[in-house]
Amino acid sequence: MYDKLKTISLMSIALFCLQATQSSGQVSRSSGAEVQYTADGADSCLRCHGVERMTTMAETAHGNANNPHAPYAQQGCESCHGPGSLHVSRARGGAGFPALIRFGDEATHDQQKTACLNCHAQDMGELEGMEWAGRLHDTPQVTCSTCHQVHSTENPLANREDQISTCAHCHEDEISNHQRFEQQGIVFDRLTCNDCHDVHQLTRRDEANASTR
Ligand code: HEC
Ligand code: HEC
Ligand code: HEC
Ligand code: HEC
Ligand code: HEC
Ligand code: HEC
């Protein structure tokens, strides 16, 4: 008797699943090829993009699934690269892999900065949202990944030498001619640029003065 019940309920579960599959199939067919987030987070990407540079994301702040604000607690890789249902779909015959949000030279400036500011313009726990828009580094030459590396457990800005060489890509002359503030008793060579400049929220000196007066 008990076994029979179990069999019946298993059968109805199977039937339900079949219906669910069919109806979700219909939904995606009727709505055309609308791109969506995949349901499996990073796993749906790592089955192809499985090199260490990708798996290492799990060890970074973004891969911390215990932080509800982090990509791995939300859409995984797609939190930055955008919805990937079409990109992962092998059912598209020869249609290839539709582009996702990319970073670097091939991507538009707006797309790249929005991908990060979707989260980073907001307060996220301890981390305050940044006011990037309209600040001096908010120019077409500069995006977040000009200075930051996210597919790495190493922070290229934490170490003084590396930070200076990152800035030197664009500010070589200003660095070699920089005031050293010796009169003020400052040991310039021990400081990082970031100790004195908030590179995210730089304003022009005259604007900064105006707002403090
Ligand atoms: C079935 C294998 C497969 C899966 C699954 C897959 N990709 Fe891809 N991906 C590729 C291939 C192949 C390319 C290169 C396509 C090309 O250049 O035409 C690519 C290209 C990319 C690029 C562009 C790389 C560049 O050089 O700028 C990004 C970003 C990307 N994939 C992210 C993802 C993300 C995020 C996911 C998960 C949602 C994912 N991929 C899932 C196979 C896959
Ligand atoms: C926090 C945002 C973010 C997350 C999360 C993220 N990426 Fe990226 N991805 C980037 C940025 C920025 C670049 C540009 C290169 C860089 O800065 O390291 C990039 C580059 C890439 C590239 C181009 C090839 C390369 O080696 O640079 C691929 C492919 C890619 N990501 C796939 C993935 C996959 C797969 C995941 C999940 C395991 C993922 N990304 C998660 C931001 C992200
Ligand atoms: C889904 C939201 C989300 C997106 C999208 C996102 N981040 Fe983050 N980011 C976070 C959270 C959450 C933290 C961790 C904050 C903390 O430690 O409290 C973080 C931390 C960081 C840190 C500090 C890393 C560290 O080790 O402390 C940097 C740098 C950073 N993000 C850059 C980026 C860049 C660049 C992009 C776009 C390519 C991006 N983020 C996209 C949520 C996001
Ligand atoms: C001109 C270089 C530069 C650019 C561009 C840049 N950052 Fe930063 N960022 C830094 C430096 C320097 C630090 C401080 C050193 C560190 O924490 O590694 C930092 C720190 C951070 C942190 C950690 C902040 C904290 O309080 O712990 C986050 C998050 C971050 N940046 C996100 C972003 C995002 C998102 C963008 C794009 C909107 C961006 N950054 C653009 C240089 C830059
Ligand atoms: C990709 C190029 C690029 C990189 C890399 C870069 N900057 Fe900039 N920076 C700019 C641009 C463009 C401006 C805006 C210049 C303007 O409008 O006068 C700027 C402005 C500034 C200013 C204000 C200058 C002024 O005239 O008041 C400071 C300070 C500064 N950057 C510091 C840094 C630091 C520190 C780093 C490294 C953490 C850095 N920058 C990395 C391009 C860059
Ligand atoms: C001890 C604090 C301090 C440190 C460290 C510091 N700066 Fe500055 N920086 C200043 C001050 C103050 C000014 C504005 C006064 C001036 O023009 O000398 C300035 C001005 C600048 C300017 C604008 C120069 C111009 O000609 O208008 C740039 C660009 C700049 N700094 C980049 C950097 C970079 C890159 C680093 C790291 C190598 C760095 N700074 C380290 C305090 C500092």
Strand partners, 127: 124
In a domain, 182, yes or no: yes
Report which listed range, 21-25, 89-93, 119-123, is most confident. 119-123
In a domain, 158, yes or no: yes
Nearest CA to 144 out of 86, 101, 188 is that of 101
State which ligand 6 atom lies nearest to the alpha carbon of 193.
37
Interval between CA 115 and ligand 6 midpoint (Å): 29
Interval between CA 178 and ligand 6 midpoint (Å): 6
Domain that holds residue 159: 154-197
Which value, to the nearest 10 degrees, does the dihedral of the CA atoms of residues 165, 170, 173, 179 take?
Answer: -70
Interval between CA 198 and ligand 4 midpoint (Å): 9
- Pick the ligand that lies closest to the CA of residue 206: 5
Mean of pLDDT values over 119-124 = 96
Number of independent structural domains in the chain: 1
Cβ 171 under 6 angstroms from ligand 5 = yes
Mean pLDDT of the chain: 82
Cβ 79 under 6 angstroms from ligand 2 = yes
pLDDT at position 19: 38
pLDDT at position 99: 65
Is residue 139's pLDDT more than 60? yes
Report which listed range, 4-13, 39-48, 88-97, is most confident. 39-48
In this predicted model, what pLDDT tens digit does every residue of 58-88 receive, in sequence order?
999 999 999 999 999 999 999 999 998 888 8
In a domain, 174, yes or no: yes
In this predicted model, what pLDDT tens digit does every residue of 32-53 receive, in sequence order?
567 889 989 999 999 999 999 9
In a domain, 49, yes or no: no
Interval between CA 97 and ligand 3 midpoint (Å): 27
In a domain, 188, yes or no: yes
In a domain, 17, yes or no: no
pLDDT at position 34: 78
Cα separation, 206 vs 187, whole angstroms: 26
In a domain, 87, yes or no: no
- Pick the ligand that lies closest to the CA of residue 157: 4
pLDDT at position 207: 67
In a domain, 192, yes or no: yes
Q: What is the DSSP string of 162-203?
A: HHHHHHHHHHHHHHHT----GGGT--GGG--HHHH--TTS--
Cβ 150 under 6 angstroms from ligand 3 = yes
Task: Name the band, by pLDDT with cuts 50, 70 and 90, for residue 97.
Answer: low
